[in-house]
Amino acid sequence: MATAIAFSLGVLAMLGNRIPPSLKVLVVAFAVIDDLGAIVIIATYYTAEISVWFLVDAVVVWVLLLILNRLFRIMSLAPYVCGGAVMWFLMLKSGVHATMAGVMLAFAVPFSAQDDDEVSSSHRLENILHKPVAFIILSIFALANTGVFVGADWIQGLSSLNSIGIAAGLIVGKPLGVTCLCVVAVTTGLCRLPLGLHWRHIVGAGMLAVSDSPCPSSLPISPSRETPSSSALRKWPLFWLR
């Protein structure tokens, strides 16, 4: 689970039963899609150099995992965990952001639509990772891996065009985008608002989307802003697992 998604769910959890369950589903849905889109953009536009052979090998491993799932219905976690680790390494060496390996692996692990299916590999993996991610990895990302650099000139930096653009995109763009797209989808008949969900909830969800800034720690730091700590951070495996 991405850090931003977890923050959004944390805010919803504090509201408890004062919000409809369908709003939680909506927030989780656009948060996941938002982060997946950000990962694709990072993998596409923030790759300086690509090693084709490593990339091809990573795809081959992914196809083998899909075959184990779709054709042979192998439900054991071992081949998917080992194959995922190999795919992560090959993706990292290829130059493409290694987060793509996690996204690809998610499509290869066997999944069951039945809740709490003990046979489902994805459900078992989710149960294994839930507590370490919630109590350890999430805390590390929140405190040490946000990529925020506070220097002596941070006040002047707030008035730069980059800072203004980021603030406008988050504070204005996200709430406006989420609300307008929902209005368009409902008015065109593509979908309808679930029972108990009102437009004020949609506006609130759009405001909550501000906390779901996609993958901030994954964006490469420009050479002019690179610091010894940020350089060392990029060599840390958890950074690439983001």
For the chain, how many structural domains are there in total?
Answer: 1
Helix (H, G, I), strand (E, B) or coil at 144: helix
Tell me the residue range of the domain where 131 lies.
Answer: 47-144
Q: Is residue 135 part of a domain?
A: yes
Q: Is residue 54 part of a domain?
A: yes
The amino acid at residue 7 is: F
Q: What 3 state SS string does 178-192 have?
A: HHHHHHHHHHCCCCC
- Poorest-pLDDT segment among 13-17, 153-157, 214-218: 214-218
Residues 209-227 have a mean pLDDT of 49
Q: Is residue 191 part of a domain?
A: no
Res. 42 pLDDT band, cuts 50 70 90: confident
Residues 74-102 have a mean pLDDT of 93
Q: Is residue 109 part of a domain?
A: yes
Q: Is residue 67 part of a domain?
A: yes
Residues 177-194 have a mean pLDDT of 93
Residues with Cβ within 8 Å of 51's Cβ and at least 6 positions away in sequence, in order, are 93, 94, 95
Give the model confidence (pLDDT) of 123-143 as tens digits: 888 889 888 987 888 777 767
Q: Is residue 198 part of a domain?
A: no
